[in-house]
Amino acid sequence: MLLHIPGILDDAQLARFRQSLDAAAWTDGRQTVGPQGAQVKRNLQLPEDSPLRQQLGREVLAALAANPLYFAAALPARTLPPRFNRYEGGGRYGFHVDGAVMAMAVPDGLPPVNLRSDVSCTLFLCDPDEYDGGELVIHDTYGEHEVKLPAGDLVVYPSSSLHRVAPVTRGARVAAFFWVQSLVRDDGERRMLFELDQAIQALTASGADGEAVLRLTGVYHNLLRRWAET
């Protein structure tokens, strides 16, 4: 499921993010991918151990936790702490598929924790008119979809998708990105649950028959109970 979720960050948050990121020390983005990804990746990222990455990442996670549309779409079980990237001067990322299993940082002495990437997320931190190029191009069975959203907006899509970032030929494209292990592994099942959830919300808001809405809500939770992995 490819979904645009508006307004994750507000104008004040975006201004603070941009001020901090514009002054940040960036590193080669190829440091966080394997040999195959390094062949097609040309961008900058905040270092993995950057305190700024940790601080801004916590703010992103808090904003996501307060957004019911994001929760309904992703059904998050685990989330890899957000990373931040910058594309400029022809920077690009060729077609690739995200890694299926990713290691999460844990305190020393604790056993390692892995995350299965079910949902990929990009949070745009620049408005489209600030740069040329830089579209997130997602390929699925219906063809290619170009995504270039307003600052503060999020796109979520299946991590199994082939995707790329087009070259940035003017300005700079700055974004946060992260992966989610969903309670529901299958993208088709997540889509059905999302559509059912949205229908229930719309019926509730319209004042529809309460008993019918209650039955539909029961169907939603019983499907989630059947499909969820904890």
By DSSP bridging, strand 83-88 and strand 154-158 are unpaired
Residues 127 and 147 in one domain: yes
Residues 152-194 pLDDT 10s: 999 999 999 999 999 999 999 999 999 999 999 999 999 999 9
Average pLDDT rounded to a whole number, residues 199-212:
94
Beta bridge partners of 164: 137
Same domain for 201 and 114: no
- Report whether 173 belongs to an annotated binding site: yes
Q: Are residues 149 and 75 in the same domain?
A: yes
In the 8-state DSSP scheme, what is residue 11?
Answer: H
**pLDDT tens for each residue of 24-36:** 999 998 877 777 7
Confidence check: pLDDT of 212 > 80: yes
CA distances to 38, 87, 121, 215 from 224, rounded to whole Å, are: 38, 39, 22, 14
Q: Is the Cα torsion angle 70, 74, 75, 79 positive or negative in sign? A: negative
96 annotated ligand binder: yes
- Is 163 annotated as a binding-site member? yes
Residues 97-151 pLDDT 10s: 999 999 988 777 788 899 999 999 999 999 999 999 999 999 988 899 999 999 9
| Maximum separation of any 2 CA atoms in the chain, in Å | 58
Q: What is the pLDDT of residue 110?
A: 82
Tokens 């960036």 -> residue:
26
The domain in which residue 204 lies consists of 187-227
pLDDT reported for residue 47: 95
Which pLDDT value is given to residue 114?
Answer: 94
In the predicted model, is pLDDT for residue 11 greater than 80? Answer: yes
Q: What is the CATH number of the domain that holds 209?
A: 4.10.860.20
Quick one: how far is CA 215 from the chain centroid? Answer: 32
- pLDDT over 90, % of the chain: 89
Whether residue 140 sits in one domain with residue 199: no
Q: Tell which residue, 62, 55, 68, has the closest CA to residue 21.
A: 55
pLDDT in tens, 43-61: 999 999 999 999 999 999 9
pLDDT at 105: 82
Same structural domain, 178 and 191: no
How many domains does one find in the chain?
2
